[in-house]
C-alpha cells in the first residue's frame, strides 16, 4: 500500500496538484510568497494585531523606558492572565455568532463565591474553586437553555444575567463589601508571586518548538506517503527554530527579573488546549460550522443545540475561572471585582485579536494577542501617570481600529474570493 | 443461467418505489396517491408546475416529512423514513436547492461535516485523500480542497454538495433543482456530473423546471400535477406533450402563446405579396 502510494507520488502529479490552473508555491521562499499573497488578498490572520502591538510598544517605550523593562513585563503577564482567560471564553461564544455580556459579573460572582466558601465558611480552597466553576457552568447552561428553548437572543439573556449575577455577588458579599483572602495561601501566592523555575521556562519554550516540528513532520510524512503535497523539511525546521529562538529569548528576558508567572503559564496552556479543540476536533469543526451556517450544520446532522450549549457553558466557566484568578491576584473578593471595564476588556480583547463578531471566524490565540494589546495600553498609560479617562478613550479607539481593519479585510477577502 | 435471470430481475426491480403515497397538511392534500419507481443507474426527472408537490415528494423521500398514507419500498423491503438520518442511513442522500454548505469552511471540512474521521484528533490526511478520490471520480474541477467554499463558483459548489452526498455510498440520490441559478457552462458541467453519478449505478431523482436540462439527462420524466401523477414520459416526448401534462390542458398559456406566434407568422406570410 505504502509502496503503491510512493510510486504514485513519484510518477504522476500529486493528488492535490493535478489541476494545472492553480499556482502552487514550494519550499521556504514559496511559503513566504504564499503568505504575502494571502495578506494582499485580505486574509490577514494575526498580522494586524502583531503590527499594532509593535507600534504600541514602540510608542510607550519611547515615552517611558520602564515600559519594556523585564519587571513591568512580568507584571503585564500577571495582569493579562486573569482577563485573558475570560476573553478565551468570549472567543467560544463569538465563534457561534453569539455574545456573552455577563462575563464580568460572572467572574466577580465566582470570586465572591470562593471568598465566602473558603474564607467565611472554611471550605478547603480546592473545593471552593470547583464549586465556583460549577456555578459558572450552570449560569452558562441557563443561557443556553433560554437560547435553545425560548429562542431568547443571547444579547438580552446575558444582559439580564449581567444584572442578576451582579446582584447575587453583592448579596453574597453582604454588608462588609469585601473579603480578604489570606496572604501566603497557595491561591494568593499563585496569583501574585509564583513563577516558573528558570529551567522549566526554558524547557517549555524548547518543548513548544519541538512539538510543532514533530507534529508538522509527521503530517508531512503522511501526506507524502499518500501522494499529497507536503511542507518541505527546511520550512518545518525553520519554523520550529524561529519559534524556539523567540520563546527562549522571551523566557531569558523574563528570567532576568522574577521569571514567567505560573498564572500566565496556565493561561497559555488553556489557550493552546482551546486552539487544539477548535481546530483538531469534531467539536471545533461543529463550532465553526454552526457559526458559519447554522442551517447547513443542522442538516449535516450536527446537534446544533448542544454546540450552542457547549459554547455558553465554556464561556461562563472560563469567566468564573478568570474571576478566581483575579481574586487571587488582588488577594480579595470585593464588590468591585468584575465590574467596570472587565466585561468590555474581555470582549474587546477577543475582537481586537481577530475573532469576528459575526461567527465562524476566529482563533483561541486572538484572546492571547488581544489581551496583551489591551493590557499594554493600560500598563503604558499607568506608567505615564495618566488617568483612567484617557485609558478608556485609547482602548476604545484601538477597538474601533481593530474592527475597521477587520471590516476592510473582510471586504478584500470577498473581492478576492476568500470570504 | 439462473444467475443471469436473477441479475436481470434485480435490474428491473426498483431500488426505491412508492405506492399510493399521500401527504396532507391539515385540509390541504399536497400529495395524493403518488406512485414512483427509481431503478439503479437511472435518472428520473420530477417535473411539475409550482405547487405540484415535487418538493413535498422529495422531502418525503428525504425523511423530512412523513407520508400520511401509502408505502415506501427500498430494495424490496417496506421502510419508514422517520427522519432525515433514517433516510441517509438506508442510502437515500439529498442535495437541497440551497446547497447548505458552510462558506467559512474548506471543501474537505464541508464534505465531511458531521461525519469527521476520528472526532478527538481529526484525520485531515485521510479526509483529504477521500475528498480528492470522490471529486476525481466525478471528474470534478475543483482547484483546491483547502480553500474556503466561499471562493468557489456556483457549479463547483453544486459539485461539492453532490460529492458530500456520495460520501456514505448511497443507492439513491435526490437533487432539488440542481441547475437553477447556474450559467450555461456550469449547467452543462452539472449535467455531466449527474450522468457520471448514474453511471456509478445510483438511482437519481432530479427536480427541474428546465425542460431542456430534463430531456438532456433524464431516462424517464415523471409529471406531477396538483399533487397527483400526471403521466410518465420519455426524453423523446415533445415539449407540447410535456407542457400539457404539466399544466393539465392542451389549451394553456404556453400553447396559446405558441398559437399566437403561429398565427402572426401566417399573417405576415399572407401579407407578403
What string of DSSP letters covers chain B? -HHHHHHHHHHHS-SEEEEEEEEEETTEEEEEEEEEEE-TTEEEEEEE-TTSSHHHHHHHHHTSS--SEEEEEETTEEE---SHHHHHHHTEEEE-SS----TTSBHHHHHTTT--SSTTS--HHHHHHHHHHHHHHTT---S-TTSBGGGS-HHHHHHHHHHHHHTT--SEEEEESTTTT--HHHHHHHHHHHHHHHHTT-EEEEE-S-HHHHHHH-SEEEEEETTEEEEEE-TTS-HHHHHHHHHTSSSSHHHHHHHHHHHHHHHHHHH--
Question: Which of A229-233, A284-288, B16-20 shows the lowest per-residue confidence on average (mean pLDDT)?
Answer: A229-233
Q: What is the dihedral of CA B108, B112, B117, B121, to 10 degrees?
A: 60
Q: Chain A: residue nearest B141 by CA?
A: A19
The b/e string for A357-376 (b: 16+ C-beta within 10 A; e otherwise) is eebbbbbbbbbbbbbbbbbb
Rank A154-168, B235-249, B253-267 by mean pLDDT and report only the highest: A154-168
The reply to whether residue A285 touches residue B109, judged by beta carbons under 8 angstroms, is: yes
ipTM: 0.86
Q: Chain B: residue nearest A415 by CA?
A: B151
Give strand pairing partners of B222: B46, B232
Smallest Cβ–Cβ distance between B100 and the set A299, A414, A417 belongs to A299
Q: Chain B: residue nearest A226 by CA?
A: B129
Contact A419, A293 (CB under 8 A): no
Tell me what the mean pLDDT of segment A376-380 comes to. 91
For residue B126, the model assigns a pLDDT of: 92
The shortest C-alpha distance from B127 to chain A (Å) reads 11
The b/e string for B171-205 (b: 16+ C-beta within 10 A; e otherwise) is bbbbbbbbbeebeeebbebbbebbeebbeeebbbb
For residue A34, the model assigns a pLDDT of: 77
Query: Which residues in chain B have Cβ-Cβ distances shorter than 8 Å to A419?
Result: 103, 148, 150-151
Contact B91, B62 (CB under 8 A): no
What residue ranges define each of the domains in chain A, with the CATH number in brackets? 1-18+197-258 (no CATH), 64-194+261-415 (1.10.3470)
**Residue in A136, A89, A90, A88 with CA at minimum distance from that of residue A112:** A136
Tell me what the mean pLDDT of segment A229-251 comes to. 92
For residue B84, the model assigns a pLDDT of: 80
Query: Which residues in chain B have Cβ-Cβ distances shorter than 8 Å to A18?
Result: 136
For residue A22, the model assigns a pLDDT of: 63
For residue A277, the model assigns a pLDDT of: 96
> What is the residue whose three cell numbers read 467572574?
A107
In chain B, positions 121-160, which contact chain A (CB-CB < 8 Å)? Answer: 121-122, 124-126, 128-129, 132, 136, 141-148, 150-151
Q: Is A252's pLDDT higher than 90?
A: yes
More confident residue, A12 or B55: B55
For residue B259, the model assigns a pLDDT of: 73
Tell me what the mean pLDDT of segment B195-213 comes to. 90
The shortest C-alpha distance from B197 to chain A (Å) reads 21
In whole angstroms, how far apart are CA A84 and each of A112, A246, A305, A323, B204?
19, 21, 27, 11, 53
The reply to whether residue A15 touches residue B125, judged by beta carbons under 8 angstroms, is: no
Can you give the pTM of this predicted structure?
A: 0.86
More confident residue, B269 or A56: A56
Q: Which residues make Cβ contacts (< 8 Å) with residue A253, sequence separation at least 6?
A: A70, A73
The reply to whether residue B143 touches residue A19, judged by beta carbons under 8 angstroms, is: yes
Using DSSP's 3-state secondary structure scheme, residue A180 falls into: strand
Q: Is B2's pLDDT higher than 70?
A: no
C-alpha span between A186 and A188 (Å, rounded): 6
For residue A20, the model assigns a pLDDT of: 62
**Residue in A176, A226, A301 with CA at minimum distance from that of residue A15:** A226
- Interface contact A297, partner B, CB < 8 A: yes
The reply to whether residue A285 touches residue B105, judged by beta carbons under 8 angstroms, is: yes
Q: Is B75's pLDDT higher than 70?
A: yes
Q: What is the dihedral of CA A305, A307, A313, A318, to 10 degrees?
A: -160
What share of chain A has pLDDT > 70, as a percent? 94
| Tens-place pLDDT, residues A309-334 | 999 999 999 999 999 999 999 999 99
What residue ranges define each of the domains in chain B, with the CATH number in brackets? 2-237 (3.40.50.300)
Query: Which residues in chain A have Cβ-Cβ distances shorter than 8 Å to B102?
Result: 288-289, 292-293, 296-297, 360
What is the number of residues in chain B? Answer: 273
For residue A98, the model assigns a pLDDT of: 95
In chain A, positions 371-410, which contact chain B (CB-CB < 8 Å)? Answer: none
Amino acid at each position: 500500500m505504502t509502496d503503491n502510494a510512493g510510486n504514485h507520488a513519484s510518477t504522476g502529479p500529486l493528488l492535490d496538484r493535478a489541476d494545472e490552473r492553480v499556482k502552487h508555491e514550494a519550499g521556504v521562499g514559496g511559503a513566504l510568497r504564499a503568505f504575502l499573497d494571502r495578506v494582499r488578498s485580505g486574509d490577514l490572520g494575526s498580522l494586524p494585531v502583531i503590527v499594532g502591538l509593535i507600534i504600541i510598544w514602540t510608542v510607550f517605550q519611547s515615552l517611558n523606558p520602564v515600559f519594556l523593562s523585564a519587571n513591568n513585563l512580568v507584571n503585564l503577564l500577571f495582569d493579562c492572565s486573569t482577563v485573558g482567560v475570560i476573553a478565551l471564553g468570549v472567543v467560544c461564544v463569538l465563534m457561534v455568532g453569539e455574545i456573552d455580556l455577563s462575563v464580568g459579573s460572572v467572574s466577580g460572582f465566582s470570586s465572591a463565591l470562593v471568598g465566602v466558601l473558603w474564607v467565611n465558611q472554611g471550605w478547603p480552597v480546592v473545593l471552593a474553586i470547583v464549586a465556583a466553576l460549577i456555578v459558572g457552568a450552570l449560569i452558562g447552561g441557563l443561557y443556553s437553555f433560554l437560547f435553545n428553548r425560548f429562542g431568547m437572543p443571547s444579547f438580552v439573556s446575558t444582559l439580564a444575567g449581567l444584572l442578576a449575577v451582579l446582584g447575587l455577588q453583592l448579596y453574597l458579599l453582604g454588608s462588609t463589601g469585601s473579603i480578604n483572602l489570606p496572604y501566603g495561601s497557595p491561591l494568593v501566592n499563585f496569583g501574585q508571586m509564583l513563577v516558573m523555575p528558570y529551567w522549566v521556562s526554558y524547557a517549555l519554550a524548547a518543548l513548544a518548538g519541538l512539538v510543532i516540528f514533530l507534529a508538522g513532520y509527521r503530517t508531512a510524512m503522511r501526506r507524502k506517503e499518500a501522494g499529497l503535497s507536503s511542507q518541505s523539511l527546511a520550512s518545518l525546521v525553520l519554523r520550529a527554530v524561529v519559534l524556539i529562538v523567540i520563546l527562549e529569548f522571551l523566557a531569558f528576558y523574563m528570567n532576568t527579573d522574577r521569571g514567567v508567572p505560573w498564572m500566565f503559564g496556565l493561561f497559555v496552556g488553556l489557550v493552546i488546549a482551546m486552539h487544539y479543540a477548535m481546530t483538531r476536533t469534531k467539536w471545533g469543526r461543529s463550532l465553526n460550522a454552526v457559526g458559519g451556517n447554522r442551517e447547513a450544520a443542522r442538516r449535516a446532522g450536527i446537534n446544533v443545540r448542544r454546540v450552542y450549549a457547549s459554547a455558553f457553558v465554556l464561556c461562563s466557566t472560563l469567566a468564573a475561572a478568570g474571576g478566581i484568578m483575579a481574586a487571587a491576584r488582588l488577594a480579595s473578593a470585593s464588590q468591585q471585582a468584575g465590574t467596570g471595564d472587565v466585561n468590555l476588556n474581555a470582549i474587546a480583547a477577543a475582537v481586537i485579536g481577530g475573532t469576528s463578531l459575526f461567527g465562524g471566524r476566529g482563533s483561541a490565540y486572538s484572546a492571547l494577542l488581544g489581551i496583551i494589546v489591551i493590557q499594554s495600553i493600560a500598563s503604558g498609560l499607568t506608567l505615564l501617570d495618566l488617568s483612567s479617562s484617557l485609558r478608556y478613550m485609547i482602548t476604545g479607539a484601538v477597538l474601533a481600529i481593530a474592527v475597521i481593519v477587520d471590516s476592510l479585510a473582510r471586504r478584500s477577502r470577498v473581492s478576492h474570493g476568500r470570504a | 443461467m439462473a444467475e443471469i435471470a436473477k441479475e436481470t430481475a434485480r435490474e428491473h426491480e426498483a431500488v426505491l418505489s412508492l405506492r399510493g403515497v399521500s401527504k396532507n397538511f391539515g385540509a390541504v392534500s399536497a400529495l395524493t396517491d403518488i406512485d414512483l419507481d427509481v431503478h439503479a443507474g437511472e435518472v428520473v426527472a420530477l417535473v411539475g408546475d409550482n405547487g405540484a408537490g415535487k418538493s413535498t415528494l422529495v422531502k418525503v423521500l428525504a425523511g423530512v416529512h412523513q407520508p400520511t398514507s401509502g408505502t415506501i419500498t427500498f430494495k424490496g423491503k417496506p421502510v419508514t423514513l422517520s427522519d432525515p438520518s433514517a433516510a441517509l442511513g438506508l442510502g437515500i442522500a439529498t442535495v437541497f436547492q440551497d446547497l447548505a454548505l458552510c462558506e467559512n469552511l474548506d471543501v474537505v471540512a464541508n464534505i465531511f461535516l458531521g461525519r469527521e474521521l476520528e472526532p478527538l484528533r481529526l484525520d485531515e490526511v485521510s479526509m483529504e485523500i477521500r475528498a480528492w478520490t470522490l471529486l476525481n471520480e466525478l471528474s470534478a474541477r475543483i482547484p483546491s480542497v483547502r480553500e474556503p467554499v466561499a471562493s468557489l463558483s456556483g457549479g463547483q459548489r453544486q459539485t461539492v454538495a453532490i460529492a458530500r452526498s456520495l460520501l456514505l455510498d448511497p443507492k439513491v440520490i435526490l437533487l432539488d433543482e440542481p441547475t437553477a441559478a447556474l450559467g450555461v457552462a456550469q449547467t452543462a458541467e452539472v449535467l455531466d456530473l449527474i450522468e457520471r453519478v448514474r453511471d456509478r449505478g445510483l438511482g437519481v431523482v432530479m427536480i427541474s423546471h428546465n425542460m431542456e436540462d430534463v430531456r438532456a439527462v433524464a431516462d424517464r420524466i415523471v409529471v406531477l400535477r396538483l399533487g397527483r401523477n400526471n403521466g410518465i414520459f420519455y426524453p423523446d416526448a415533445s415539449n407540447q406533450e410535456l407542457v400539457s401534462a404539466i399544466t393539465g390542458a392542451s389549451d394553456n398559456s404556453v400553447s396559446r402563446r405558441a398559437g399566437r406566434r403561429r398565427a402572426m407568422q401566417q399573417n405576415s406570410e399572407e401579407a407578403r405579396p
